[in-house]
């Protein structure tokens, strides 16, 4: 990166995005943030995005050249932080660190991607696409088809999600399945005739105990019941309820096995009915990132950008979708820092120029 203007300009653009809060469930906030992202992209790369509206959400796409697509830069601008989070987690820059909700995951990565493309000579941008989506944090319900269509048949996908500890690139990710197990029972007065009800709280409590046994510590497969709701009022036998279940595994077969187990749950209470719904992200397997990581290591060494490391991540990203297509995918190319989704979320400023330079090198046509 050309440091003639220093990194302050980059930080200012990150700050502008962080100060526009964009939680996944707030369509108005997302719409405004999309406009800001587009404005910053146009300013830095000299080209406005194509806005792709799906389900009330604006996904942004930049493409260069008329020929075949070769490389996709992938990211998202939605965050897990609700509007108002800035009151308790204000934007700040001090002691070489920037802070604010969504800065690490992943608004800094968006700005770094724009600067990386801006550093790339226009003649070398042919075949390059940037896609930024508005629903990654909620499992990409409106963008998955778009992501897979953009990534199919490419030579590489570079995901500017945040890095692992110490700037490690993410060369593998567990797959994830997320389910909601619903129970449908029958209400009754809790004091007068509770025996006439079919209690979904009791039913789901038994199911949660059963579901928790599906985990497998030996393979680091986790099955975690999370949000539990049941009933409506304190004096009524609950007639409906649900529990969310988070499943993570590096094994496609194990994910499929757990899916079968959940879909075949049997009620313990006669008369109660169970329903199971879910969505899935396949694992990002190490084989899909190996060659790209080796290329990144060579670029970093040649450019004096430091020695790169790699990790296998428990979290998922949209890179799981692209790798499952058979498209080589390298993840974790965004900001260096820590605290995704947490109070201590932050980005290390000194690492920003190196990450921009690394991505610029990767975007050049491979020798």
Q: What is the spatial distance between Cα 64 and Cα 87, in angstroms, rounded to a whole number?
A: 39
Q: Interior CA angle at 175 toward 172 and 176, to 5°?
A: 140
Catalytic annotation, pick one of 38, 105, 135, 136? 136
Q: What is the spatial distance between Cα 345 and Cα 337, in angstroms, rounded to a whole number?
A: 8
Do residues 203 and 265 make contact, with C-beta atoms less than 8 angstroms apart?
no
349: burial class by Cβ within 10 Å (0-12, 13-18, 19+)? buried
Is 277 one of the annotated active-site residues of the chain?
no
Do residues 210 and 249 make contact, with C-beta atoms less than 8 angstroms apart?
no
Q: What DSSP state is assigned to residue 105?
A: I
Q: What is the spatial distance between Cα 206 and Cα 104, in angstroms, rounded to a whole number?
A: 39
Pairing between β-strand 240-249 and β-strand 92-94 as defined by DSSP bridges: unpaired
Q: CB under 8 Å, gap of 24 or more: what pairs does 361-364 form? A: 361/296, 361/299, 361/302, 361/303, 362/156, 362/158, 362/292, 362/295, 362/296, 362/299, 362/330, 362/333, 363/71, 363/73, 363/116, 363/117, 363/120, 363/124, 363/128, 363/158, 364/120, 364/124
DSSP string, 42-80: HHHHS-PPEEEEETTEEEEEEE--SS---EEEEEE--BS
- The stretches of 152-278 forming alpha helices (DSSP H) are 200-212, 252-263
Backbone φ and ψ for 22, nearest 5 degrees, come out as: -145, 65
Catalytic annotation, pick one of 21, 38, 78, 285? 78
Is 78 one of the annotated active-site residues of the chain?
yes
Instruction: Count Cβ neighbours within 10 Å for each residue of 274-306 and write b for 16 or more, e otherwise.
Output: beeebebbbbbbeebbeebbebbbebbeeeebe
CA atoms within 13 A of residue 23's CA, in its CB half-sphere:
10
Active site residues: 78, 136
């Amino acid at each position: 990166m050309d440091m003639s203007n220093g990194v302050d300009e980059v930080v200012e653009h990150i700050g502008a995005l962080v100060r526009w809060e964009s939680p996944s469930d707030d369509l108005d906030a997302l719409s405004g943030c999309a406009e800001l992202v587009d404005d910053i992209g146009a300013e830095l790369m000299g080209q406005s995005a194509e806005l792709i509206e799906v389900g009330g959400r604006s996904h942004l796409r930049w493409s260069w050249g008329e020929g075949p697509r070769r490389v996709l830069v992938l990211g998202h601008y939605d965050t897990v932080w609700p509007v108002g989070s800035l009151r308790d987690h204000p934007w700040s820059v001090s002691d070489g660190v920037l802070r604010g909700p969504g800065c690490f995951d992943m608004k800094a990565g968006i700005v770094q991607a724009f600067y990386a493309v801006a550093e790339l000579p226009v003649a070398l941008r042919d075949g390059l696409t940037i896609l930024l989506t508005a629903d990654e944090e909620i499992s990409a319900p409106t963008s998955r088809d778009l992501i897979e269509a953009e990534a199919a048949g490419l030579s590489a996908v570079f995901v500017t999600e945040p890095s692992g500890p110490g700037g490690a690139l993410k060369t593998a990710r567990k797959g994830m399945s997320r389910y909601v197990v619903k129970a449908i029972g029958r209400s009754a007065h809790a004091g007068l005739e509770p025996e006439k009800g079919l209690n979904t709280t009791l039913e789901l409590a038994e199911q949660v105990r059963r579901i928790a046994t599906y985990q497998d510590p030996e393979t680091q497969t986790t099955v975690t019941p999370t949000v539990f709701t049941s009933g409506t009022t304190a004096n009524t036998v609950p007639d409906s309820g649900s529990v969310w279940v988070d499943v993570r595994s590096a094994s496609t077969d194990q994910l499929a096995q757990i899916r079968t187990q959940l879909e075949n749950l049997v009620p313990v209470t006669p008369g109660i009915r169970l329903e199971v719904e879910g969505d899935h992200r396949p694992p990002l397997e190490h084989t899909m990132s190996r060659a790209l990581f080796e290329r990144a290591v060579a670029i970093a060494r040649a450019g004096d950008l430091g020695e790169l490391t790699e990790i296998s991540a428990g979290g998922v990203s949209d890179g799981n979708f692209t790798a499952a297509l058979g498209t080589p995918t390298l993840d974790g190319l965004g900001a260096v820092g820590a605290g995704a989704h947490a109070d201590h979320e932050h980005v290390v400023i000194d690492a920003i120029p190196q990450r921009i330079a690394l991505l610029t090198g990767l975007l050049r046509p491979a020798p």
